[in-house]
Homo-oligomer: A and B are copies of this chain.
Amino acid sequence: MPRKRNIDELREKALKSAREGIKNAYASEEYALMQAINAYRETTRSYNLAFERLSEWYGIYFPEIKISNPDMLADLAIALNTKGSVSKESIMAAVKDQERADSIYAKATATIGRSMNDEEKAALMSYAGMCKRMSEALVGIEEYLKVASKRILPNTTYLTDEKIAAELLARAGSMERLALMPASTVQLLGAEKALFKHIKFGSKPPKYGTLFKLPRITAARRDLRGRYARAYAAKIAIALKADQFTKNFIAERLMADLEESLKRIDGSPVREKPQRGQGFGGRFQRRPQGQHRMQGRKFGQQRHERA
């Protein structure tokens, strides 16, 4: 059956090409970078939660202690509870400060906290160990983020930092989508919720999303932050195009331009806060309470509809 063989062969070829296609689509490192930044953000949140719980839990046994460094608290809890008796050396190894170690030792030997039984100790130590392990994982992922952001987004990373660059990528979904975005979209990546609230309910429009994590924007004068964000977004949009298409390193020139723009913005006089609803004419005006732009709309209903 030569006909049959032919079809089998064709099928084989088509399958192979499909496999190749999938392979190529996922071969790019950007997907790994997106996973890493998402893992980093989620783990940071979980870690903060776990640390809060650890300090509260450990506070039952040793209420005199106040340590705001999560790693140190975990180390100390382990040092104070794994060996038979409390020793100055193990405390010293955890807090790395002689004076502090002495004061903790004095407090630990005369604490009014509850004394642990063995099962409690095992559970708490396991939990403290987990907290430590989470912070190690964060360090490990951060190292990768640094390398990968510089490799995939060298210009953008230069203008912002590795975490912000990676977060922009993760929010856009792919390098190509991100690179093709206009500056105004880049400026608002991460502010989707506020943006749609603005469009739907006429609340104030957001000025920045992920970009607010830039220290320069956070520290800027309140009435200038939006303009800072716009200036940044304009340059980042250009840097992204260079990262994706030309692969040239133009970030130093962009940064110089940006500094100039920021200086110009800094020179502007302090604006008075505009009166409500006098900012931008009708379209973006704040509606008086009790009115709704979407009143009488056809699609769906409000959750708290009340005629």
Contact = CB atoms under 8 A, between A and B. Distances in A.
Interface of A: 19, 22-23, 26-29, 31-32, 35-36, 38-39, 42-43, 46, 49-50, 53-54, 56-57, 60, 63, 112-114, 116-117, 119-120, 122-123, 125-127, 129-130, 133-134, 136-137, 139-141, 143-145, 147-148, 289-292, 302-307
A220 B129 CA distance: 40
A201 B26 CA distance: 50
Contact of A120 (B26, B32, B42): B32
Contacts of A307: 289-290
Given A39-B53, A42-B49, A305-B289, A133 B129 contact: yes
Contacts of A116: 32
Contact of A122 (B144, B291, B305): B144
Q: What is the count of identical protomers in the complex?
A: 2
Given A35-B60, A50-B46, A302-B304, A120 B137 contact: no
5 contacts: A122-B143, A126-B139, A133-B133, A289-B306, A289-B307
Tell which of A50, A113, A140, A303 has the most Cβ of chain B within 10 Å: A140
Given A26-B113, A114-B26, A119-B143, A60 B39 contact: no
A39 B137 contact: no
A63 B307 CA distance: 51
Nearest to A116: B32
A54 B148 CA distance: 18
B23 A112 contact: yes
Given A43-B130, A50-B43, A140 B113 contact: no
Given A32-B57, A39-B50, A123-B144, 13 more contacts: A26-B112, A26-B113, A42-B50, A42-B53, A43-B50, A46-B49, A46-B50, A119-B147, A120-B144, A123-B140, A127-B141, A289-B306, A303-B304
Most-contacted residue by chain B among A32, A123, A127, A145 (CB, 10 A): A123
A56 B43 CA distance: 15
B126 A136 contact: yes
Nearest to A18: B112
